[in-house]
């Protein structure tokens, strides 16, 4: 069957630039023959992590939802804002909660990281912080990350990137990731939901 990608933005904001980039990634994946499971960060909402809450095997519903969606897909793609040079607190909080399941859901899953920011660096520093917990948990984080600079001016009214060279680079990045995930499906070490 087709390769399945969980795609979501790590921003809760209505007019989020990262949600726009995540939606564009979804379109590009479908255009190239992949299946998209698009999620909203609000579906993964969790209380602030506190080990005292972990009584009788408690996991928040948002963490359970995140775990299920990771396992139901072959790979996940996050478009994340950069807050103060790092990932948003809600993203780390959700990862921490989801890391408490056994088996641990991130292990041996593929991930691609995207970011969008009005700045010239496109929120790229935040992605280096996001790699740390994911790689710690055994996720195969794709080496190429795509960071959209000047994101408030980058999209046309249809949600595509105005700059054709950048649009091609974005598509090439996604297709490279798709090919890796597809090839990896033939390895039995990749567990299935």
User: Could you list the residues that contact ligand FNR (CB under 6 A)?
Assistant: 11, 13, 16-18, 81-85, 116-119, 121, 123
Q: What burial class does residue 47 get, using C-beta atoms within 10 Å of its C-beta: 0-12 exposed, 13-18 middle, 19+ buried?
A: exposed
Residue 32 vs 84, nearer CB to ligand FNR:
84
- The first and second tokens of residue 136, run together, are 């710690």
18 phi, psi to nearest 5 deg: -70, -35
Report the C-alpha gap between 76 and 9 in whole angstroms. Answer: 11
- Running DSSP on this structure, what letter comes out for residue 47? P
Q: Which is nearer to ligand FNR, 74 or 170 (CB)?
A: 170
Rounded CA separation 33/24 (Å): 15
CA dist 193 and 182 (Å) reads 16
Report, in angstroms and rounded to the nearest whole number, the Rg of the chain calculated over CA atoms: 16
- Considering beta carbons, is residue 20 or 67 the nearer one to ligand FNR? 20
Q: Which is nearer to ligand FNR, 11 or 139 (CB)?
A: 11
Minimum distance of ligand FNR from residue 149's CB (angstroms):
9
Q: How far is the CB of 153 from ligand FNR (least distance, A)?
A: 12
Instruction: Tell me the closest approach of the beta carbon of residue 186 to ligand FNR, in angstroms.
Output: 35
CB of 85 vs ligand FNR, minimal distance in Å:
5
Taking the least distance from each CB to ligand FNR, the nearer of 13 and 68 is 13
For the chain, strand residue ranges (E) read 4-9, 35-40, 75-79, 110-116, 140-141, 146-148
State in angstroms the smallest separation of the CB of 188 from ligand FNR. Answer: 37
- Min. distance of Cβ 126 from ligand FNR in angstroms? 7
Complex with ligand FNR: residue 84 or 104, whichever CB lies closer: 84
């Amino acid at each position: 069957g087709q390769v399945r990608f969980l795609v979501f933005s790590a921003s809760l904001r209505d007019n989020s630039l990262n949600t726009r980039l995540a939606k564009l990634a979804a379109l590009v994946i479908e255009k190239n023959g992949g299946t998209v499971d698009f999620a909203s960060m609000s579906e993964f909402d969790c209380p602030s992590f506190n080990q005292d809450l972990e009584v009788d095997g408690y996991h928040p519903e948002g963490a359970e939802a995140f775990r299920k969606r990771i396992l139901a897909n072959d790979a996940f793609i996050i478009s994340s804002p950069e807050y103060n040079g790092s990932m948003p607190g809600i993203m780390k909080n959700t990862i921490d909660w989801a890391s408490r399941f056994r088996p641990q859901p991130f292990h041996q899953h593929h991930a691609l990281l995207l970011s969008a920011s009005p700045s010239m660096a496109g929120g790229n520093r935040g992605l280096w912080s996001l790699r740390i917990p994911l790689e710690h948990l055994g996720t195969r984080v794709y080496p190429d990350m795509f960071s959209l600079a000047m994101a408030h001016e980058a999209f046309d009214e249809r949600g595509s990137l105005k700059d054709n060279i950048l649009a091609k680079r974005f598509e090439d990045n996604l297709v490279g990731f798709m090919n890796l995930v597809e090839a990896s499906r033939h390895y039995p070490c990749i567990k299935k939901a």
